[in-house]
Amino acid sequence: CHDDVSKPDEMGNWVCQCIAPFHGMDEVGGVAQCSINECDEVCASCEKLSDDEEPLCEHHGQACHDPDEGTLSDWQCVCMAPLTGEAATTAVAECMLDECEATCGTCAMDVCSGAGQTCEDADQRPEHVNGWVCKCPAPSTNTHARGPVERCATDECEDDAVGSVCRDSTPPQVCVDVDPMALGNWECHCAPPAAGLQAGAPAAQCDEWDECVAICPTCADTGNGDGSVCTAAGQACADPDPAVHGDWACECMHPATGAQQGAPVAPAQCLLDECRVACNTCADTGSGVNLCEAEEQVCVEGETHAGATGDWVCQCPAPLDFVSARAALATCGFDECEEVAGLPGVPSVGGRVCADAGQDCHDASPGTLGDFTCECRAPEHGAHAGAPATCTVNECDVSDNRKTCTDEGQECRDPDVATDGDWQCVCVAPARGNGHARPAVCETNECEDGSVGAVCAGAAPPQLCVDDGLQTDGDWVCACAPPTTAVNGTGVNGPATCLLDECEAVCGTCEGDACTAAGQTCEDPATDFHSTGDWVCKCAPPSPDTSVQGPVLRCGHSECDDAGGDAVCAGEGQTCYDGDRHVVGDYECQCPPPTTAVEGTGTGGPATCERDECKEVTACRAAGQRCVDPNKAPESVGDWECACVFPAVAVGGNGMGAPAECSMKGECAHAVNSEVCTAAGQTCVDPDIEADGDWMCQCMRPAAGDSTQGAAAECLIDECAVDCATCAGSACRAREQACVDEDQGVSPASLGNWQCRCVAPATGVAVGEPARCTVDECDLYGSTCAAMNQRCVDDDLAADGDWACVCPPPATGAQTGGAAACTVDECVTDGGVCEAAGQACHDPDHAAASTGDWECRCPPPSTQAAVGGVATCSVDECTLYGAACTAAEQTCVDENPMGDGGWYCVCHAPVVGREEGGPADCALDECTEAVGGAPGADVCGAGQTCEDGRQGAGDRGDFVCTCEAPATGSAVGERARCTHDECSDPAAAEVCTEQEQECIDHDWTSAGDWQCRCLAPAEGVPATGMPATCLEDECAGTGRAVCEAAGQVCEDAYPTQGSRDDWTCVCSVQSGATGSAVMMPADCTPPPSSECRVPAIEAVCIGAEQVCVDRDLTVTGDWECHCLEPAAGTALMGPARCVLDECTEQCAGCAGATCSSEGQACEDPDVSAASRGDWTCVCAPPASGIEVAHQA
């Protein structure tokens, strides 16, 4: 609402105005008619709710339309061309793109209709473009994407008149249109399993098929997925008459026999006795000789069904035992320990020989003669091949002997079972010791227990484990390694508390008598082994001086610290001061403040003290008067006086304890003048009483200075030159020091700040008292030390004559007042090398010139040492424990002299054996030792191994020779007879198996006679040591049947055993076709012939002296007549019109270059091929002339 308030007298002129974004004409006195285009404005009902928002329709590629600006919420999103779709109110429209109807860059437009085809767009979503296709008119169903179908095809078999020709035949057949793009080429095909076809008519013999090749309910392959029944059984299939169904049969493959014919479908029952027939896996491989019978053995077939091959065995004739292998000769023999009757020439004494000796007989290899073994019966031990054994008894098997040891927790051992009475009781590890025929006295070094030794070794610092009582448990201790020592009572069954007193020990950082040589004592304040290099030398009393890691160069003490000086001064109530600790009798007694000593008193005894009260009071000076103390005795107090300063005169005498009354003369008598001076602490002086204006202020003593006339003076006081309460007096002079007063003002702040300064070469300064002067004597005498490459040291600058020359590290030594005699303990610098190895360092000669002679010494009990490096420490434990070996008649050997453990007792040859930490169990290995002959290993020889299972000292002649793999066989006490199936060697077997052949070794005792033999159905002669030549013609079985059933020929180009599944069916010559197929019938359909071979067609072109050409043999009606060169021209299905321009073509009689070479033009008025020789040369203007068929 709006009212024009500028016109208050006009009533009724208010108007209603539309509020933005609405718009409309104002209405006076009533509501305006407001409207809004909701597509252009921003409002709650508009397309845009805010200025920052993108319009909804535009965002989706659509246009916004408001059909009624007076109505709210009626705006619409409208599809934009070429999209179409219903407009949506206040929402996005569903737009589609029909590329068949619309006009756009990807649309079909008239592409399909122009080819007589229809357009179809199956998916009209806008995002799916280029999806339209052209469709052929019915009945053709061909389509083509984004373009017309080039040729629309029609399946002629869909025409019922054509399809019924095949469908209604007997039996019914299938109609096939070979090329839907052409007409008249449909065929009738026999329905499976029959094969055959006929173009344009029913095929013949559709009720005949080879049941061995086809798939049908009565065929060998019924179509159940298992394939042919015969093939699955490894048999051949034969169908004698394709016209008769159910007459096929499965036939066994050679050499098996048997057949099964007719339904129900089943394979034949094939039998194969490999002992009776000849085959690759048979006992007779085709040579006519049975392997078993040739060696007088019996051939026994395992299973006779044809699938079980190679399971026959050769068996030994009775009474021999046998060890048979499949498809190989048996190994025949007998157990020599058993009685064998009726076998001439074969000994049978093994059992009796052993039994007569009361021993057991054992024959480990029945196939080998003379290898039986006689074995002793328990508790005796021993064995021997071919003869009774020498039996021995282990004395520890006797219960009383064994009990003697076990009752003490010990083991019983018999080192030589051939010797009586030598059994021993042996301590159980880790204990050591043995007793001959009695319990041993056992000793145990508890430190050899790893867990115990680790306690000491892991301590800080690492310690040594010591067990002095080897027969007592729990007495081991940890001992500190030098140079450390243990605290008493520590280290038992645990780490010790180790200390390092560098004053007592010998080490690289230790004192080594340095203090003692200087008449001083050594003290190590911290004896913890971590704390090194902290020992000190201490001076003899009463000097308290100390020095770290070396002697004190000059010992001294303060006389005020003993009963002498301090007592003398204290007795007088005075304090003691000793300015030089190295000088005797120079102490001073100092008076207590505020008294001072009378000059010349107090040195070496009590001082004479006085008290000058004028040094304390300021009342006189303040009044411009001088102070006088008539009695300076300390007890005389309060008797000071103020006296007038000339030219003033005291009225009534000096003032007692207060300023005096002074009478001034001349101009100073005037108070105005005198007060100028008094106010400045000065006195007024009038040098000429008679003259006016010459009065002046004069400084009060001890200050000095005159003022200019009529004013206060500039007063100065040199406290070093005058005597006053704050002045130096003789304080500096008495010490032979210089006094300096740099601030000579008279104010209290400038008083008492004088200095005593030491006179060169001494240095030092002090304010208000004598200085403590020091002199660095090295500045005077340092060249003496430098000349010897030594260092000058002045420890007490206040003392004279105490400078010294000190040797540079690592040398030690010092000399007061001159060059030192230096010594070098190399263990100070190099001792860490030894200490890191747990060894002690020793330097035998400390002279500075003696270097490189330090050595590392091993800790006890080792005694080794090494110069300039770590020593190799060793302890021969055989010196400690060797008696245990000697008692067992064995030798002690310490293989680890560098550490604990590692010592052994070793048996004496020929017996062998060793045991760590105690006597060994000695044994005799006849394979390596020669006892009464050659070692067993030499007896066995090459290709055999020797093993002595019983190595007791009395076990002789029982070593066993065993053939090395892959050979087998063994013998006791002699070389074995070895047998070996060479076909078990992978290298030999692989030669045969790689060629799919089998390996056969007829004689296991001979080498190099193995053979490769062909496996059925392949055939060939066996070959020794190499593959046989095996042939397998696959056309002899299934292949031939498959090909012949199709009227084709089977060919196997590679009839070798390794080349399978490569047979082919080849079209017969009679079929007129060429072709082949591997393992199946070939496609022998005759090839299509050229229409130009039809005489009537060929005559059309030949009659016109043209050539007939058929470009596509699969299409009819496309033959053409082609003109002969150089004429050109073709025509479909008729003579062509041949053209020959004699001016441009090259031919006999053509113009060629005749005209052009003369600059003339060539013209051929008749270019038909029949018009020859009519070309002309034409003169170029303005020339004229013409000549036919030659140059004009």
**How far is Cα 279 from Cα 386, in angstroms, rounded to an integer?**
45
Structure confidence at residue 350 as a pLDDT band (50, 70, 90) = low
pLDDT at position 264: 46
Write out the two tokens for 567: 């007592």
Three-state DSSP at 841 gives: strand
Distant-in-sequence, close-in-space partners of 1018: CB < 8 Å, separation ≥ 6: 280, 996, 1030, 1031, 1032, 1057
Q: Please give the model's pTM, rounded to 2 decimal places.
A: 0.34
Phi, psi of 1097 (to 5 degrees): -70, -45
* Residue burial 201-212, b: 16+ Cβ < 10 Å; e: rest: ebbeebebbbbb
Alpha helices in 804-882 (DSSP H): 827-836, 878-881
How many other CB atoms are there within 10 angstroms of residue 55's CB atom? 16
**How far is Cα 995 from Cα 728, in angstroms, rounded to an integer?**
132
pLDDT digits (tens, 9 = 90+) for 724-780: 767 877 778 877 888 998 888 877 777 888 899 988 877 888 888 888 887 888 888
Write out the two tokens for 952: 């007791």
How many other CB atoms are there within 10 angstroms of residue 130's CB atom? 12
DSSP element (H, E) containing 250: strand 249-251
Phi, psi of 176 (to 5 degrees): -130, 125
Write out the two tokens for 202: 């029913």
**How far is Cα 603 from Cα 590, in angstroms, rounded to an integer?**
9
pLDDT at position 1190: 47
Structure confidence at residue 1058 as a pLDDT band (50, 70, 90) = low
Q: What residue type is 528 in one-letter code? A: D
pLDDT at position 905: 92
Place of tokens 């860490």: 832
Closest to 1038 in 3D by CA, of 998, 1065, 1071: 1065
pLDDT digits (tens, 9 = 90+) for 868-879: 898 887 777 787
pLDDT digits (tens, 9 = 90+) for 900-953: 778 889 988 777 788 888 888 887 778 887 766 778 778 888 888 888 877 776
pLDDT at position 689: 79
Structure confidence at residue 341 as a pLDDT band (50, 70, 90) = very low
Report CA 1110 to chain centroid distance, whole Å: 75
pLDDT at position 1052: 82
Whether the Cβ atoms of residue 315 and residue 298 lie closer than 8 Å to each other: yes
DSSP element (H, E) containing 622: helix 619-622
**How far is Cα 1094 from Cα 1109, in angstroms, rounded to an integer?**
12
pLDDT digits (tens, 9 = 90+) for 769-818: 888 887 888 888 888 899 888 899 887 776 777 788 888 877 777 888 88
Q: What residue type is 303 in one-letter code? A: E
**How far is Cα 754 from Cα 843, in angstroms, rounded to an integer?**
59
Whether the pLDDT of residue 885 is over 50: the answer is: yes
* Residue burial 59-90, b: 16+ Cβ < 10 Å; e: rest: eeebbbbbeebeebeebbbbbeebbebebbee
Strand order in the sheet with 1076-1078: 1049-1051, 1064-1066, 1076-1078
Structure confidence at residue 441 as a pLDDT band (50, 70, 90) = confident
Distances, alpha carbon 398 to alpha carbons 381, 412, 420, in Å:
13, 10, 12
Whether the pLDDT of residue 1186 is over 60: the answer is: no
Average pLDDT of the residues of the chain: 81
Q: Please confirm whether the linkage preceding 461 is cis (ω < 30° from 0).
A: yes
pLDDT at position 259: 63
Is residue 920 left, alpha or beta, with left meaning phi > 0 and alpha meaning psi from -120 to 50? beta
Alpha helices in 720-867 (DSSP H): 778-786, 827-836
Q: Are strands 855-857 and 865-867 parallel, antiparallel or unpaired?
A: antiparallel
pLDDT at position 212: 82
Whether the pLDDT of residue 1187 is over 70: the answer is: no
pLDDT digits (tens, 9 = 90+) for 151-203: 787 778 878 888 888 988 888 888 988 777 777 788 998 888 887 888 888 88
Percent of the chain clearing pLDDT 90 (strictly above)? 4
How many other CB atoms are there within 10 angstroms of residue 1162's CB atom? 19
Q: Three-state SS across 543-567?
A: CCCEEECCCCCCCCCCHHHCHHHHH
pLDDT digits (tens, 9 = 90+) for 56-100: 898 888 899 999 888 888 889 999 888 888 988 888 899 998 888
pLDDT at position 344: 44
pLDDT at position 1176: 92
Percent of the chain clearing pLDDT 70 (strictly above)? 93
Q: Are strands 823-824 and 840-842 parallel, antiparallel or unpaired?
A: unpaired
Distant-in-sequence, close-in-space partners of 454: CB < 8 Å, separation ≥ 6: none
Place of tokens 């004192």: 511
End-to-end CA distance of the chain: 112
How many other CB atoms are there within 10 angstroms of residue 894's CB atom? 19
**How far is Cα 489 from Cα 1109, in angstroms, rounded to an integer?**
128
* Residue burial 490-504, b: 16+ Cβ < 10 Å; e: rest: ebeeebbbbbbbbbe
pLDDT at position 348: 55
pLDDT at position 207: 83
pLDDT digits (tens, 9 = 90+) for 641-655: 998 877 778 877 888
pLDDT at position 1120: 92
pLDDT digits (tens, 9 = 90+) for 1074-1127: 788 888 888 887 767 778 878 888 888 888 888 888 888 778 888 899 988 888
- DSSP state, residue 644: P
**How far is Cα 697 from Cα 689, in angstroms, rounded to an integer?**
15
pLDDT digits (tens, 9 = 90+) for 270-312: 888 888 888 888 888 888 888 888 877 888 888 877 777 888 8
Q: What is the mean pLDDT of residues 500-520?
A: 81
Whether the Cβ atoms of residue 324 and residue 311 lie closer than 8 Å to each other: no
Q: What is the mean pLDDT of residues 446-475?
A: 80
Q: Please compute Rg for the chain using Cα positions.
A: 71
Q: What is the mean pLDDT of residues 543-561?
A: 78
Write out the two tokens for 178: 């070979």
pLDDT digits (tens, 9 = 90+) for 595-612: 888 877 878 888 889 888
Q: Identify which has the larger pLDDT, 511 or 854.
A: 854
Q: Identify which has the larger pLDDT, 618 or 1183.
A: 618
Lowest mean pLDDT among 363-367, 383-387, 674-678, 802-806: 363-367
Alpha helices in 1000-1086 (DSSP H): 1038-1045
Secondary structure (DSSP) of 350-395: HHHHHHHTT-EEE-S-TTSTT--EEEPPTTEE-EEESS----EE-G
pLDDT at position 860: 63
**How far is Cα 1009 from Cα 1003, in angstroms, rounded to an integer?**
7
pLDDT at position 119: 92
Place of tokens 């298992």: 226
Whether the Cβ atoms of residue 359 and residue 376 lie closer than 8 Å to each other: yes
